[in-house]
A and B are shown apart, each in its own frame.
Chain A
Amino acid sequence: MGNQYVDMGLSAPVNVTWEVTFKCNLSCIHCLSDSGKKRKGELDTDQCRKVIDELAAMKVFQFNIGGGEPFMRRDFLDLMDYAHEKGMVTCISTNGTLITEEVAKRLDKNLVYIQVSLDGATPQSNDAIRGKGSFSNVVKALEHLKKRNIEVSINTVLTRLSFPELDKMVELASAYGAKLRVSRFRPSGRGMDSWSDLNVNKNQMLDFSQWLSRHLKVSTGDSFFSVTTEERKSLGLNMCGACKLTCCISPKGEIYPCAFLQHDDFYAGKLPGNDFKTIWETSPVFESFRRLEIKSCESCHRFDLCHGGCPAIAYHTQRKLGVPDPGCLANCVKIKSPTIVAEGA
């Protein structure tokens, strides 16, 4: 990753996370956006097309689509077609429950990635988080997608429940020709309520870091750079990409640094209405994010690997930016060391 070029300031994001609706047919206990019912003010079809026009004109390469459940929108596939006509790549995060054979056929094109959420290798563990019956529905979706050779990742949020099943998740993904992607649990939306129950402890985070270093084909969506080891340092970002490489658009068109910081403190503007290029280039929120320095981390031997970690987690747990990621590997090692000594004695 050419950090020095990113630091010069890009003319547009490389990708934009776009949560296209709050509506969802599941009620996962860790949902970052507290999704459920459609909310007042969500963008309609014409407004969504204007968003696509504006971002395509700036040459944004990719949309990372999320929600809510994107397929709950009746116009969703038409909107994706519209983005593809403009040459944009779409990576769609879905709970998989609405991917029928017909939907899979429509998705069978070059510019689409699908990311299906699954939070356990068995119905028991997955459904405890995502709701009864969700595991079997996802398996059906994976079969439809596999039949069409569509590029798929299974996305698992790292929690105390999913952590012991990661090896089985690798096997499950492989059985469907999919990659495994593990993403970080963040205390946002309903994740705030379940944070203390579900978040892995520091020993588990350290074990997970070592697990990742043995599973180089498992991707992380760049959400675990705080625990990146030397083995993985060439595989992705070594810093937070918010406002430098990416940003987020909410279902109402509000623009934020990232999906996990959809908070009034980080509101940068709204589409359609405000000019996205102006927001990207001059928003005070975005500018302050680009200047964000986590001074207390600069002397750490791991600084080049993580640059202080994820500001969103620091914000949600400590209500401030510019402080170290609490899940940082250096902190985990400090906790783990006495246990190792005790076990060896």
Chain B
Amino acid sequence: MKIGIPRALLYFNYYPFWKTFFEELNHETVLSSKTTNRVLDMGVKSCVDDACLPVKLFHGHVMDLIGKADRIFIPRLISVEPGEYICPKFIGLPEMVKNSVPNLPELIVIDFNAHRNAEREYDGCKAVGKALGAGLKQINGALEKAKSAQREYENRLLQGYNPLKLLDQGAAEAQRIPGKGSGKGRIALIGHPYLLYDQHINMNICSKLEKRGYQPLFPENIGKDSIDAACAGLPKKLFWSYGQRLLGSGLHMLERGMVSGIVFISSFGCGIDSFIGELLQRFNHRSFKVPYTTITLDEHSGQAGFDTRLEAFTDMLEWRRVDGCHIPSYGQNVHTCQSPF
């Protein structure tokens, strides 16, 4: 049977697991095509208006799979860490799709819920494996292989690889040792994986930064321990796993002086980013004072304005280092002139 996997949302985090799991159960997997305007338009038209760009895009990718696959896989990620959650829209994702997209083939919905107990996270996989007609032994074997594929992928990310290149180019890219850019330094790209690694909706921000001589650093490049340590100072536990990753990795990069600037990428209407971005920005202004900008993406984003902002940001980084801070504006020196490089 051909199982369709939408190339959207947490595909960028869990694809190796999903692919291996289904393939070990002797099913073929097929990916939806990469995001294009057509995919985006289909999503925008079928999804409720109030949803955020990535959820609309997911709808588009599901529609793209209709006719290409016998069944479509929709993960329901409730919780990936005990006591934590992901965005509510991820929990209700299968229902949103079912009620918005017409003519759907049968769906395969796997619940991932580690909220009460981390051991139970894969119970959903077992149930679905059984429903697909596999024996217990085969399912357990598939789960082990899937977990180890996932581990290998995550280890590579920690070594500084670009997730997008790893997923797209596979082994060839994995041979390459991650570079440090052409010497201008590193810029933290903080945002949800589905914005950072979807080249269409982020208008290729990674290669744009690389072309200007900067090496992007992603939240996925920072280990869980460092993230937890950076978040330990918060007055209340942050209950969104991805919120924690964004804020924690950002703070970790700032504390270690790993980056010369932060670009926070958010999608319009993102509930989690509205809080995480705010906190990161305030903490940065208080203690680190590294140049910071927020870029909000939605289905109307225009390339020109986006490029202008990115250029302005990198110009600021460079002029700040050279002579920007010797020209006071309105009689005042606005920069601290501590060279971040």
Q: Do A and B come from one complex?
A: no
